[in-house]
Amino acid sequence: MEFKDYYKVMGVARDATDAQIKQAYRKLARKYHPDVSKEKDAEARFKEVGEAYEVLKSPEKRAAYDQLGKDYRPGQDFRPPPNWDSGFEFSGAGQGDSSYSDFFDSLFGAQGRAGRGRGAGTHPGRGEDHHAKVLLDLQASLNGGSRSFTLRMPEIDAEGRLVSKERTLNVQVPKGILAGQQIRLAGQGERSPGSGTPGDLYIEVEFQPDPLYRVDGRDLYLELPVTPWEASLGATVKTPTPSGNVELKIPSGSHAGSKLRLKGRGIPATPPGDFYVVLQIALPPANDEKAKAAYAALAAALPFNPRASLGV
């Protein structure tokens, strides 16, 4: 086990005041909080900072840590001496539901966690609910079907320690689920301490980017390239939709950015979303004599100033 330098994690001096520690924590917490931060390793950093703060904000824990830490350098192999913590009384509940490092556990063990876990309002005999977030492919919502998710769950092991356990769940994804909504799995939360009902598991869904469709709530958007003459003269073109290819009628006089709506063909929620086709004008390349001649003929036949609105 490696020795952790909590002062270094928090970026404060060893003789920092409580106010300085609090200030450093708040600054780092805002930077790395998983709900707020876009940093790549936000969650890991936030846990590290939370653990450091848990120790340094408590006068008893900080004193014990300082006493022990005198002879250690960060990263050095660490083994706590037997009964090292006698004479320190740990009060104050830990907060949060993140699991701390082995280093923290070896120092503060069960006492350090006293009071964490079961929150207010918990029914005796009922296991707690668990919450997780997953990235889902859009197809799962469009067609339903089962998907496997690997989730990390904190669990209390036989010795009463909080450990992080991985489990893989095969879940029947409800058709029509939207980003931000939660899938409820009854009875998949924490096992009941007694013989009561287990808690439930709630999985919040976000969509992975889809190669074809953009998702906005329950609506889907597809950018459809068309030729200038298909847009100007109108045409019927083959278009992919979630329920298969359709022949889509492009009205004459369409332009780039024109939006065509296929009602009810978005995500099959209740009520179902709509499917929007946004036209893009694709220009044929003028890379041979024939194409150049065709463009020249068009220019001669069609005096057109696309910059008239700019006053030039």
Please count the other Cβ atoms lying within 10 Å of the Cβ belonging to residue 179. 16
Binder of other proteins out of 170, 287, 305, 309 (CB under 8 A): 170
* Cβ-based neighbours of 302, under 8 Å, separated by 6 or more: none
Binding mask 232-271 for other proteins (x = CB under 8 A): ----------------------------------------
Per CB under 8 A, which of residues 123..142 are in contact with other proteins? 123, 128-129, 131
Count helices and strands in the chain by DSSP H and E runs: 8, 11
By the rule CB under 8 A, 188 interacts with other proteins: yes
CA separation (Å) from 183 to 128, 220, 266, 268?
Answer: 16, 21, 20, 16
Angle at 13 between CA 116 and CA 11, to 5 degrees: 65
Binder of other proteins out of 20, 66, 155, 214 (CB under 8 A): 214
Place of tokens 């936000």: 42
CA separation (Å) from 230 to 205, 206, 240, 245, 278?
Answer: 39, 36, 17, 18, 14
By the rule CB under 8 A, 144 interacts with other proteins: yes
Pick the closer one to other proteins by CB: 74 or 175. Answer: 175
* Cβ-based neighbours of 3, under 8 Å, separated by 6 or more: 69, 72, 73, 74, 75, 76, 77, 78, 103
Binder of other proteins out of 21, 203, 267, 279 (CB under 8 A): 203
Binder of other proteins out of 52, 56, 132, 177 (CB under 8 A): 177
Please count the other Cβ atoms lying within 10 Å of the Cβ belonging to residue 137. 14
By the rule CB under 8 A, 213 interacts with other proteins: no
Which of these segments, 59-67, 171-179, 235-243, 250-258, binds other proteins (CB under 8 A)? 171-179
Pick the closer one to other proteins by CB: 64 or 138. Answer: 138
Binder of other proteins out of 69, 112, 127, 176 (CB under 8 A): 176
| Structure-block tokens of residue 275 | 């499917």
Q: Where on the chain is the footprint of other proteins (CB under 8 A)?
A: 22, 26, 29-30, 33, 35-36, 46, 50, 95-96, 118-123, 128-129, 131, 143-147, 169-174, 176-178, 180-186, 188, 202-204, 209, 214, 216, 221
